[in-house]
Amino acid sequence: MPESICDNYPMKKQAWRTLTDALRDLIETSGLPLLRIERETGVQRGSIARFMRGETSLRLDLADRLAEYFGLEVRRKD
């Protein structure tokens, strides 16, 4: 099976993982309060909460901010 498309995201061997799944898992496992994430990224905690519940997706610019905050790097598989 192909490996992860995210260099620094620990994963079991799967076909591939979405950026959405990776961000949700990183936010959840960080244990950080949404208020802190909001203050440090500028992404509103309400948006994060709805994203975490699967009610909405994130705009790409907001996903970029969260990815940078959590150190998530995406690379193209060669």
Indicate the domain borders of the chain: 1-78
Question: 74 forms bridges with which residues in the sheet?
Answer: 6
- Look up residue 25 and give its DSSP letter: H
Q: Residue 59 has which token pair?
A: 């705009």
pTM: 0.76
pLDDT band at residue 77 using 50, 70 and 90 as cut-offs: confident
Give pLDDT tens digits for 11-70: 454 556 789 999 999 999 999 999 999 999 999 999 999 999 999 999 999 999 999 999
- Residue count of the chain: 78
What is the fold of 1-78? 434 Repressor (Amino-terminal Domain) (1.10.260)
- 2 has a pLDDT exceeding 80: no
* Contact by Cβ (8 Å): 44, 52: no
pLDDT confidence bin for 4, thresholds 50/70/90: very low
Nearest to 49 by CA among 41, 38, 60: 38
